[in-house]
Amino acid sequence: MPYATPTQFELALGAKETAALADPEATGTPITGRIDYALTLASADIDAILGDRAPAIAAAQPAFMQAACIHIARWHLSGANTIENDPITARHEYYTALLRDMADGIIGNSGSGSGGSTAQPHYGEAQIVSPVTANPFSRANRR
C-alpha cells in the first residue's frame, strides 16, 4: 500500500504540476494510473530502505512518510534525471538519506554501517580548524 494517495500528491505539489507529470508528452490526456504507479514505486523504495522498521516508522511518522513518498514519486515521474542543482533530485536525496538514517537509527551515516561506523554526515566531511596562534587577526600577525 502506498504511503501517499494521488489526492495527497496533488495537494502537496499542486494541480498544474500533477497534471503535467500525469501527461509527460503534453497530449492533453493524462496517462491513467501514472501517479498511482509512481507512488507505488516510491513506497517500494521506502520499504526497501527501511526494511523491517517500515511499519513502526510509518506508524510513528505518517506525515514524514507521506512527504517522502510524494517527493520520491515526483523524482520517478520526472525521469529520475541527475541534473546539477535540480531541486527534485535534491529532495529525493534528502528524503532517501533521512530514511537510511531511520533504518539504522543513527543520524548522519546514511545507513552505511553499524553504530561504531566512522561514516561522514550527508553534507560532506567534517573539518576541524584550529588557529596557529591564539588570535590570528592580532596586530602582530597582520604584519
Residue 56 to residue 139: CA distance in whole angstroms = 59
Q: What is the pLDDT of residues 59-80, one digit of tens each?
A: 888 999 999 999 999 988 887 6
For residue 44, give the nearest of 96, 112, 109 by alpha carbon: 96
Any idea which of 9-13, 96-100, 108-112, 117-121 has the lowest mean pLDDT?
117-121
- For the chain, give percent helix, strand, coil, nearest 5: 55, 0, 45
For residue 53, give the nearest of 99, 92, 95 by alpha carbon: 99
Contact 46, 72 (CB under 8 A): yes
Q: What is the pLDDT of residues 119-133, one digit of tens each?
A: 444 444 444 444 444
- Domain ranges in the chain? 6-142
> Considering the entire predicted model, what is its pTM?
0.69
| Mean pLDDT, residues 47-55 taken together | 88
| Mean pLDDT, residues 80-96 taken together | 77
* Helix 6-13 with 15-22: angle, nearest 10 deg: 120
For residue 105, give the nearest of 53, 41, 48, 27 by alpha carbon: 53
